[in-house]
């Protein structure tokens, strides 16, 4: 992950988003993974950076639309 990319992560039952390289979270916390991913994905698209989803166990292996780089979604 490069500095500036968006990461959605899980800690103690709560989901967060943050900008890679910054210590503070981006926006509010979420109870739902889906909602956190939706907000994180939107932030990544707006910034034209990558989006990664991580759990406490490590990176997600799910294959969803958020696995695509935002530049790949332009024009879809």
Show Cβ contacts of residue 36 under 8 Å, excluding neighbours closer than 6 positions. Answer: 8, 15, 16, 17, 29, 30
DSSP labels for 11-60?
Answer: ETTEEEEEETT-SSBSS--BS-HHHHHHHHHHHHHHHT--EEEEETTEE-
Q: Give yes or no for residue 12 having a pLDDT over 90.
A: no
Q: How far is CA 64 from the centre of its chain?
A: 12
pTM of the model: 0.70
Residue 33 has pLDDT above 60, yes or no: yes
| 35 compared with 22, residue with greater pLDDT | 35
Is residue 54 pLDDT above 90, yes or no? no
């Amino acid at each position: 992950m490069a500095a500036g990319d968006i990461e959605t992560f899980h800690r103690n039952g709560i989901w967060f988003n943050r900008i890679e390289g910054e210590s503070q979270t981006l926006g509010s916390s979420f109870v739902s993974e889906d909602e956190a991913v939706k907000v994180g994905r939107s932030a990544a698209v707006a910034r034209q950076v990558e989006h990664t989803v991580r759990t406490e166990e490590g990176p997600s292996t799910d294959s969803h639309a958020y696995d695509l780089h935002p530049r790949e979604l332009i024009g879809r």
